[in-house]
Amino acid sequence: MRLATWNVNSIRTRLDRVLDWLRRAEVDVLAMQEIKCADDQFPALPFFELGYEVAHCGFNQWNGVAIASRVGLDDIEVGFDGQPSWSSKPDLAAAAEARALAATCGGIRVWSLYVPNGRALGDPHYTYKLNWLAALRDTAEGWLRDDPSAQIALVGDWNIAPTDDDVWSVEYYRGCTHVSEPERKAFNAIVDAQFADVVRPFTPGPGVYTYWDYTQLAFPKGRGMRIDFILASPALAARVAGAQIVRDERKGKAPSDHAPVLVDLRND
């Protein structure tokens, strides 16, 4: 079974590229982030024609997550227990954003996650990000406490570079989000809750990235970050036979600024 995650940066803009890659890569389950469309705008039919069921969660032109699967799509769940809410303006009520979606695909509980960006150190969105990650950790820890043999994949755009090797320049990002110690601790707390980074052993760094900004020729200059991850529960991690960061998908016409990340799983 092949499981992948990809921040597509607008599914309607990137639809042809995503479908073409699914055909070529023989992906069984694809978790997507930043679909950037409301549910009634999601282009589901082309996925169905390719043999995939699709679940999606999008409220407007921002954020949004989806899962496409050709091995089953059951028990769809929007958001996780305790997921924090957010309001961009003091006079607007806080609400849960379209950042977390789960489905059971071929016996694996797949969570497509788009972790809040944080914006800047000291910004309220940064506090929201840390609270969001803490709630995810607590809830995910509970899943394994209830069922230590559960096969769970926490996948997506984490908006965190966990080590200095995960950024092209430590000095460039000094004092910024994505690399701060609280963010890194929040990421590692989820790893410590027994969700292993199962891609890194097959794609060691430094200089191995999943995201490159569109500006200043960041991609050809190798100025990237590793911020997209597949974290697996112990039972699922034991099945991982290989992993890739598909860097070539950052090339060509109108790419996403992220590359797909995938793992190959042995059968139970």
CA-CA distance, 83 to 96, in Å (whole number)? 7
Residue 126 designated active-site? no
Q: In what order do the strands lie in the sheet with 53-57?
A: 53-57, 65-69, 29-33, 2-7, 261-265, 240-245
**Binding residue per annotation — 7?**
yes
DSSP string, 108-142: EEEEEEE-----STTSHHHHHHHHHHHHHHHHHHH
Residue 123 designated active-site? no
Collapsed DSSP state (helix, strand, coil) of residue 42? coil
Select which of 157, 166, 197, 228 is catalytic: 157
Outline where 39-169 has alpha helix (H). Answer: 44-49, 124-146
**Binding residue per annotation — 63?**
no
Tokens of 126: 């940064």
Residue 192 designated active-site? no
Select which of 28, 52, 56, 114 is catalytic: 114
**Binding residue per annotation — 197?**
no
Q: Give yes or no for a cis peptide into 124 (omega within 30° of 0).
A: no
Measure the CA angle with vertex 186, ends 68 and 148; round to 5°: 60
CA-CA distance, 159 to 144, in Å (whole number)? 24
**Binding residue per annotation — 192?**
no
Collapsed DSSP state (helix, strand, coil) of residue 193? coil
**Binding residue per annotation — 125?**
no
Collapsed DSSP state (helix, strand, coil) of residue 219? coil
**Binding residue per annotation — 178?**
no
Q: For residue 190, give every residue at least 6 positions away whose Cβ sits within 8 Å of its Cβ, in sequence order, or none.
A: 133, 136, 137, 140, 154, 231
User: Binding site for Mg(2+), residues?
Assistant: 7, 34, 157, 159, 257-258
Give catalytic residue positions. 114, 157, 258
